[in-house]
């Protein structure tokens, strides 16, 4: 129905190469999120699939068919844009109907399809409105309905929630997940927000500087990052890191796996410092502790009597520590260097 394969795609803007020889397979029916910092090439990739920013070289296939030379309107894809891109001079109904009209679908069938799409996103009451009389959330729904109505095999979404307020964003997130379940087609979603990526995706493609850093399920990406970039990008507050062994290696641990105590912890990596901030978020408490190198974050879910300015010990158990080499790649348990590095970490002060 909607498997997307990108083969050796390269994209250049003038002399500037944004993506070089990238290969990616997006599974049919998956909710794949392309995530990464600004300028990492995720939107460029999406526009390649849509055909509105074609690749300089390489091929894009949907369902095994090379669509590199196929016009955007004939690719069987629908796209939701960041600023919605609703036609301002057409009513909600006309906006949704426009694509069907261009596809020469008969009028009564069009009406039925538009009605169905409106129902799916909750726009039944607003069909005759003009776009300027809609709120941001409603415009977003029009953009979604316009995509749904075409019954595409692939949905492409370019940061569709970034213009909404925080509360609406959370609500729309849930609605998009539901919509994916209902439609069972391939969703490709671009965002720079790792929380959106974690909460919606079944597969995350993490990108940086035009390269795929890791492609995995949210859980695997969080718990088992392949490299330092993935480890640092996913998770908030970010993973704590420290260089060791003549700056050659990096150790990291997640704030929620950190131990904070007034006593020196045993059998752990440990460091001591002063509490510089304590943020009580209700369900959890975030500590920032400054040791001799850097600030370290620790999250605790229980109340305790540690106060700002107090000298404390920070620790992390060996099983919660991630090790990375000079090449930024992960050093896993099966690596010959692992046992020795572990010993070094435990001996660190």
Partner 1 sequence: MYKVRKRIGSVISVILKLIVSFIFIFPFLWMLSVSLQSDAETQSMSLTLIPKVLQFQNYVNAWHSAPFPLYIRNSLLIIVGIVVLQMLIMVPAAYAFAKMEFKGKNILFGIILIAFMMPIQIRFIPIYFMMSDWNLIDTLWSQIIPHMTDAFGIFLLRQYFMQVPDELIEAAKLDKSTDLQIMWKIMLPMSRPGVASVILLSFVGHWNDYFWPLVMTNSDAVRPITIGVARLKATEGSLFWNTIMAGNMFLVIPVLIIYFFMARNIIKSFTYTGIK
85 binds partner 1 (CB under 8 A): yes
73 binds partner 1 (CB under 8 A): yes
From candidates 22, 26, 48, 77, binder to partner 1 by CB under 8 A: 77
105 binds partner 1 (CB under 8 A): no
Q: Output the smallest distance, CB 262 to partner 1, in A.
A: 56
349 binds partner 1 (CB under 8 A): no
Tokens of 241: 């890191």
Looking at residues 26 to 55 of the shown chain, list those that interact with partner 1 (rule: CB under 8 A).
50-52
Q: Which is nearer to partner 1, 83 or 326 (CB)?
A: 83
| 175 φ/ψ sector (left φ>0, alpha ψ -120 to 50, else beta) | alpha
72 binds partner 1 (CB under 8 A): yes
Q: Which is nearer to partner 1, 188 or 316 (CB)?
A: 188
Task: Give the list of residues 6+ apart from residue 23 with CB closer than 8 angstroms, or none.
Answer: 6, 7, 8, 9
Q: Which is nearer to partner 1, 124 or 132 (CB)?
A: 132
Site size with partner 1, rule: CB under 8 A: 24
325 binds partner 1 (CB under 8 A): no
Q: Where are the beta strands (DSSP E) in the chain?
A: 4-13, 16-26, 31-35, 57-62, 65-66, 77-80, 154-158, 186-191, 203-208, 211-216, 240-244, 249-253, 259-261, 269-280, 285-290, 295-300, 311-316, 322-324, 330-331
Q: Give the whole-angstrom CA distance, residue 270 versus residue 266.
A: 8
Residue-wise burial string across 113-127, b where 16 or more C-beta atoms lie within 10 A, e elsewhere: bbbebbebbebeebb
SS3 220: helix
Tokens of 45: 């990739």
Q: Which is nearer to partner 1, 50 or 312 (CB)?
A: 50
Rg (CA), the chain: 24
89 binds partner 1 (CB under 8 A): yes
234 binds partner 1 (CB under 8 A): no
Continuous H helices in the chain = 42-50, 92-102, 107-121, 136-148, 166-183, 194-200, 218-223, 228-233, 338-347
Q: Output the smallest distance, CB 203 to partner 1, in A.
A: 24
171 binds partner 1 (CB under 8 A): no
Tokens 């426009």 locate to 98
87 binds partner 1 (CB under 8 A): yes
**Segment interacting with partner 1, rule: CB under 8 A, options 98-106, 176-184, 190-198, 311-319:** 98-106
Tokens 């020196």 locate to 264
Q: Which is nearer to partner 1, 51 or 58 (CB)?
A: 51
Q: For residue 328, count CB atoms less than 10 angstroms from its CB and return exposed for 0-12, middle for 13-18, buried for 19 or more.
A: middle
**Segment interacting with partner 1, rule: CB under 8 A, options 73-81, 175-183, 276-284, 301-309:** 73-81
From candidates 66, 74, 248, 340, binder to partner 1 by CB under 8 A: 74
Q: Which is nearer to partner 1, 51 or 315 (CB)?
A: 51
Which residues of this protein are in contact with partner 1, per CB under 8 A?
A: 50-52, 71-74, 77-79, 81-83, 85, 87-89, 98-99, 102-103, 132, 146, 150
């Amino acid at each position: 129905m909607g498997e997307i394969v990108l083969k050796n795609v390269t994209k250049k803007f003038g002399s500037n190469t944004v993506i070089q020889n990238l290969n990616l397979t997006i599974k049919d029916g998956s909710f794949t999120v392309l995530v990464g910092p600004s300028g990492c090439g995720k939107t460029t990739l999406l526009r390649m699939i849509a055909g509105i920013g074609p690749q300089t070289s390489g091929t894009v296939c949907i369902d095994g068919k090379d669509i590199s030379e196929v016009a955007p309107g004939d690719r069987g894809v629908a796209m939701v844009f960041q600023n919605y891109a609703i036609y301002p001079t057409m009513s909600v109904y006309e906006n949704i109907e426009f694509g069907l009209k261009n596809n020469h679908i008969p009028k009564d069938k069009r009406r039925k399809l538009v009605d169905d799409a409106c129902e799916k996103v909750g726009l039944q009451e607003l069909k005759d409105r003009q776009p300027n009389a809609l709120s941001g959330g409603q415009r977003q729904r029009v953009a979604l309905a316009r995509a749904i109505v075409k019954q595409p095999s692939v949905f492409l979404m370019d940061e569709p929630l970034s213009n909404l307020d925080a509360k609406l964003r959370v609500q729309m997130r849930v609605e998009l997940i539901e919509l994916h379940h209902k439609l069972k087609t391939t969703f490709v979603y671009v965002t720079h927000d790792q929380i959106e990526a974690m909460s919606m995706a079944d597969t995350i493609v993490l990108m940086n500087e035009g390269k795929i850093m890791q492609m995995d399920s949210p859980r695997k990406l969080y718990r088992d990052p392949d490299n330092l970039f993935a480890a640092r990008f996913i998770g908030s507050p970010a993973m704590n890191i420290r260089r060791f062994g003549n700056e050659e290696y990096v150790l990291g641990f997640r704030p929620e796996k950190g131990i904070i105590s007034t006593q020196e912890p045993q059998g752990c990596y440990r460091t001591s410092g002063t509490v510089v901030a304590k943020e009580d978020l209700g369900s959890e408490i975030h500590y920032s502790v400054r040791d001799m190198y850097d600030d370290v974050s620790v999250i605790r879910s229980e109340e305790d009597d540690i106060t700002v300015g107090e000298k404390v010990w920070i620790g992390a158990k060996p099983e919660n520590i991630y090790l990375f080499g000079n090449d930024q790649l992960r050093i896993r348990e099966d690596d010959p260097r692992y046992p020795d590095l572990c010993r070094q970490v435990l001996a660190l002060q």
